[in-house]
Structure 1
Amino acid sequence: MSRVRNGLIGRGLIPVWLLLPIVALFAVGYVLPLSQLVLKSLQSEGSWSLKSYLEIAHSPTFFWIVLRTLTLAATVTLICLLVAYPLAYMIARCSPRVASLMLLVVTLPYLTSVLIRTYGWIVLLGPSGPINKTLLQLGVISEPLQMVFNAAGVYIGMVQVQLPLMVFPLYAALARVNPSLTKAAQSLGSPPTDAFLRVTLPASMPGLVSGCTLVFLSCLGFYITPELLGGPDDYLIAQGISLRVLILGNFSDAAAQSSLLLLAVIMIFLVFRRRIAEELDDSSRFDDISPLGATASGLAARRPIVERASLLSHHVGLRIHEALTSVRRPLLRFFAGLALLLLTLPFAVVIPLAFSDAPYLTFPPPGYSLRWFSRLFSNTQWLDALSFSLRWAGLSALLSVAVGVPAAFALVRHRFPGRLAIYLLLISPLIVPHVVMAVSLFFALAGTSLIGSPLAFALGYAIIGAPYAVVVTIAGLKRFDRTLERAATSLGANQITILRTVTLPLLLPTLASAAIFAFIVGFDDVVFGLFLSGPNATPLPMRMWDNIRLEISPQIAVVAVMFLAVLAILGLLRLFVGAAIEGRRSQAKT
């Protein structure tokens, strides 16, 4: 009896040991710095005080900055929804091969540096850029439009950056909708557009809500694109925090503003926690939408306004639906193509610029050469920065995978109290603005030798990379077929042997994806570099940042081409590993 009890206790401690590494990492590099940030906002001149919050409350300037930030976040979210929905719907209804290709087109910008994409928009939207030149040649305008270094450039750049965050959850929700439901509605006399409003749209609401939440929260603390594409009148909260820390040295006000931004993000995050944590739920009602489930939850409970209006004026509504039905496919293709064009347009500019032979930035290039490649590889500062980013982003990615994979196993294969809370904590760095995390880490490390050291970057990169490792591994484990594990168990293999010889080898593509995501998020980061850089710790994104702000030379395009080449190699390697694993899996089942 005691042996059984001890076995149950030991089994109950498994998730504790699996979660211990990542919880310890988050406690030191995430929870503790954020707690110190909040405490610092409550201090003034060495004593406890609400002075910073009172100044914020009585500051009309801060009010307008908050209003501008909220307006930007809401507008970008709405535009992303309108642009992304047709694309996600088309991907969900395409053949698997075409859908895979379109998803690759969506994923590539998501994995590519925000700096590179923003650089592309500076070239595209400039007074002498290709968009203005095309409009002038067509006679649409008589003089170049000012579309960069103002609000217009910020909105365009932000929509392009945030669009993948809207496409992915929408596609996931639409792909789960049973197509037979809309066919059944059409067989009963409902026009296709009416069937869409009655069936597909309500069933896709989980993805719609998740996408809008992710985009809105990401926009609240976004720093890079507004800073590079905006003007002096487009000042946002994240820029205000950075200015107070890096320029003014007003740490108390910066801590107070960071704490308010953190509080707002956490509140929204908690409101939608069930939707955000849906991947962890084994009994999600959207995994397999049946006609009964769709009717009960989608149609009866949440009938759209358009449906109610059509009930009041059936004949008018029917004619509108019939008119839309005749043009729905061309419109769908047009808007989906527009979304893909928006996602890929910066690359159409950046790649040719890398091979320009002009001594300055001009598009289209007057000729082509490798002069900018040669200049980059002869510049020791750029090479040192590249070496630094490769080393420490790579090591941090390995650390992220090392702590994230065990945590994913604990969350997926074990049930314990506080499971949802721990999951939300581990993925919260995906939501909390990087500027808030960077400022908190800066304050926590201030006065120590870690500021300006590679270890500070390793810690920061691991904090923002580990959530990707957790999320990607959880998705892989949810799709994992445990038949081979049960077969190994029936043959007498213990859990360690099964993990080493069956589970981890079959999860290699998932682990590779987790490592790639964790590496890219660290390699691409600028915000931590702004607060943690030093003479011996300057990552490549900081060199790119300074170049864009001070020079805007084609050297950034060279880095972009190299980045895309590395992504292509990593993607091909992952496909090769995945194909090899799938072949082994098929042989084992046979």
Structure 2
Amino acid sequence: MTLTELLLLSFGMPKWTLANFLRIGDNPAYIVVLRNTLEIGVTVTALSFVLSYPIAYSLATGGPVLRTFLMVAVVLPYFTSVLARTFSWVVLLGRNGIVSQIMLELGWVSQPVPMLYNRFGVIVGMTHVIMPLMILPMLTVMASIDQKLLRAARANGASPIAAFLTIFLPLSLPGVVAGVLLAFICCLGFYVTPALLGGLSDVMITMEISAQVVDLLNWNFASALSMVLLVTVLIFLWIGSPFFPIEQPLGFSDDKVGSKAIGRRQLGTHWLMGGGSVANALDRWLPSMGGRGVPIFAGFLAVQLLLPVLIVAYLSFSASSYFVFPVPSYSLRNYQTYLSDPLWLRATFVSIRIALMAAGMATGMLAFGLSRGGIRGRGAMIALVLSPIILPTIVVAVATYFVLVRAGLQGTEFGLALGHAVHAIPFVVVIVVANLRDLNPTYVPPAALAPVLWSPSAPSSCRSSCRRSSSPPSSPS
């Protein structure tokens, strides 16, 4: 419904016209803005994948202490506002910030290097926010990979690198595709980070949409820009589908589409397995560091994930009213203000209630239906499900508001929770389907019948037969 509202607004409802779309095509500045959006999105997605894979791998294969530390580093940023984390990067990358001071002290540079208000700052800030979204889908798949397969490959003469390339990496590809998909479409809808860290030459389409909404109140043109962004993303994914199997993490089971996905997966697996001998030779020339190279690198990256959060916590004890590093003096006045203000406390409890309702609405059966159900037009449904994180949040919020007004839910906590659920459902679907796609569907009917067969009212013969069928078969002599 929200997409329908945006579509109608883009055509100038109630005065139908194509002027908004013609204006976009006639002005080359909007083409440049769209190109900037795609370039930044692809760069951040690629960098996030390179930095996130070692962390996800260490989370799936490391020891309990390492896994605990890495999980804290991945999850904790979710509890910190994106706005606060972006301001922490202003402190870190500023002209007199921590990074600049360290580089000057080490003698790497003779004067501060500009790292803010340019594309470098945008990419760094967006990568920090996107990495957890890339790690979690990959982890859900990596955690289900049997480590005995790697040990078997090592026992048969494969080096650690060869065992990884021929066994672990191919089995983790569904999670990789899910993470890349989720990261890319989130990058296209970013607003806060590029607006605060970017310069005039790095304007993204979300910033232009926000300017049309906030400054000019031109909802029709903002909706047209949103529709152009959505169509561009869908075309981009369709063109790259031979190399980027979007159906793989989203559970397509159609014969035609499924055969194409399997063929691409087998081709990639054969290519990776063909490099096993090369990896064996390469392993002799690379320093192994006692097998701790990847965990050490993952731990270093985890520290970088935690650093902005720690900076925010450190600045919360500042006596200054502004972000100043280092803090001039320490004080608890910020916490005292929060605990003594009934408005802040009421807002906190309202946020908790809305979050619980939104989580309950987002974690429904949609992911299971998309991965297992025989649904026609599944591609169109997936496009609709993913659209709220492709489109700018402010535009989706306004379109949702129009829907809530018609339903009489505006200004209510349930209506606000419904708006949050619309934005949360795509994240749930992509992450959950990445794990459900490999679940054997033959397990579902017995699991559904189990409560009936084991109920006290069920005949004893049914329970005994169920017990016999569930017992493991005897091993052959």
Specify the TM-score bucket, using the shorter chain as the normaliser: 0.7 to 0.9
Match of 2:250 in 1: 277
Structure 1 distance, partners of 2:360, 2:420, is 14
**CA-to-partner distance for each residue in 1:32-82, whole Å, 9 max, x for gaps?**
x321211221238x5322222122122211111111111111100111111
Q: Secondary structure at the match of 1:275?
A: coil
Residues 183-222 of structure 1 mapped to structure 2, 5 A cutoff: 183-222=151-190
Structure 1 distance, partners of 2:339, 2:411, is 25
**Matched AA of 2:282:** I
Q: 1:328 to 1:214 in 2, by over 3 A?
A: farther
- In 1, are the aligned partners of 2:10 and 2:223 still within 8 Å (CA)? yes
Match of 2:463 in 1: none
- RMSD of aligned residue pairs (Cα, Å): 4.0
**Matched AA of 1:368:** Y
Match of 2:419 in 1: 460
Q: Secondary structure at the match of 1:43?
A: coil
Match of 1:553 in 2: none
Residues 48-447 of structure 1 mapped to structure 2, 5 A cutoff: 48-96=16-64, 98-266=66-234, 274-278=247-251, 302-304=269-271, 307=274, 318-324=280-286, 326-327=288-289, 329-358=291-320, 360-376=322-338, 384=343, 387-388=346-347, 390-391=349-350, 393-401=351-359, 403-404=361-362, 407=365, 411=369, 417=375, 424=382, 427-428=385-386, 431-433=389-391, 434-441=393-400
Structure 2 distance, partners of 1:34, 1:152, is 33
Deviation at 1:157, TM superposition (A): 0.8
- In 2, are the aligned partners of 1:105 and 1:340 still within 8 Å (CA)? yes
Structure 2 distance, partners of 1:39, 1:224, is 27
**Matched AA of 1:75:** T
Q: 1:449 to 1:118 in 2, by over 3 A?
A: same
Structure 1 distance, partners of 2:41, 2:223, is 22
Structure 2 distance, partners of 1:235, 1:225, is 11
Deviation at 1:134, TM superposition (A): 1.8
Match of 1:41 in 2: 10
- In 1, are the aligned partners of 2:370 and 2:378 still within 8 Å (CA)? no
Structure 2 distance, partners of 1:129, 1:356, is 16
Structure 2 distance, partners of 1:80, 1:211, is 9
Q: Secondary structure at the match of 2:248?
A: helix
Structure 1 distance, partners of 2:18, 2:408, is 31
**Matched AA of 1:164:** P
**Matched AA of 1:197:** L
Q: 1:214 to 1:359 in 2, by over 3 A?
A: closer
Structure 1 distance, partners of 2:306, 2:231, is 35
Q: Secondary structure at the match of 2:285?
A: helix
Q: 1:486 to 1:304 in 2, by over 3 A?
A: same
Structure 2 distance, partners of 1:456, 1:406, is 18
Match of 1:516 in 2: none
- In 1, are the aligned partners of 2:115 and 2:121 still within 8 Å (CA)? yes
Under a length normalisation based on structure 1, what TM-score does the superposition of the two structures give?
0.64
- In 1, are the aligned partners of 2:354 and 2:414 still within 8 Å (CA)? no
- In 1, are the aligned partners of 2:388 and 2:396 still within 8 Å (CA)? no
Deviation at 1:147, TM superposition (A): 1.8
Structure 2 distance, partners of 1:385, 1:94, is 41
- In 2, are the aligned partners of 1:121 and 1:157 still within 8 Å (CA)? yes
- In 2, are the aligned partners of 1:426 and 1:467 still within 8 Å (CA)? no
Structure 2 distance, partners of 1:420, 1:250, is 34
**Matched AA of 1:397:** A
**Matched AA of 2:270:** R
Deviation at 1:426, TM superposition (A): 8.3
- In 1, are the aligned partners of 2:182 and 2:427 still within 8 Å (CA)? no
Identity %, equivalent residues: 31
Q: 1:222 to 1:363 in 2, by over 3 A?
A: same
- In 2, are the aligned partners of 1:407 and 1:470 still within 8 Å (CA)? no
Q: 1:318 to 1:79 in 2, by over 3 A?
A: same
Aligned residues: 437
Deviation at 1:123, TM superposition (A): 1.6
- In 2, are the aligned partners of 1:151 and 1:230 still within 8 Å (CA)? yes
- In 2, are the aligned partners of 1:86 and 1:336 still within 8 Å (CA)? yes
Q: 1:359 to 1:100 in 2, by over 3 A?
A: closer
**CA-to-partner distance for each residue in 1:7-32, whole Å, 9 max, x for gaps?**
xxxxxxxxxxxxxxxxxxxxxxxx2x
Deviation at 1:257, TM superposition (A): 0.5
- In 2, are the aligned partners of 1:197 and 1:304 still within 8 Å (CA)? no
Structure 1 distance, partners of 2:330, 2:16, is 62
Deviation at 1:135, TM superposition (A): 1.8
Structure 2 residue runs without a partner (length 5+): 254-261, 459-477
**Matched AA of 1:118:** T
**Matched AA of 1:361:** F
Structure 2 distance, partners of 1:413, 1:177, is 20
- In 1, are the aligned partners of 2:73 and 2:303 still within 8 Å (CA)? no
Q: 1:257 to 1:53 in 2, by over 3 A?
A: same
Deviation at 1:139, TM superposition (A): 1.9
- In 1, are the aligned partners of 2:250 and 2:430 still within 8 Å (CA)? no
Tell which deviates more after alignment, 341-350 or 417-426.
Answer: 417-426
Structure 2 distance, partners of 1:300, 1:429, is 31
- In 1, are the aligned partners of 2:359 and 2:421 still within 8 Å (CA)? no
Q: Secondary structure at the match of 1:304?
A: helix
Which residue of 450, 455, 458 maps to 1:490? Answer: 455
Structure 2 distance, partners of 1:258, 1:50, is 15
- In 2, are the aligned partners of 1:400 and 1:466 still within 8 Å (CA)? no
**CA-to-partner distance for each residue in 1:515-566, whole Å, 9 max, x for gaps?**
xxxxxxxxxxxxxxxxxxxxxxxxxxxxxxxxxxxxxxxxxxxxxxxxxxxx
Structure 1 distance, partners of 2:161, 2:85, is 36
Tell which deviates more after alignment, 217-226 or 190-199.
Answer: 190-199
**Matched AA of 1:95:** G
Q: 1:205 to 1:413 in 2, by over 3 A?
A: closer
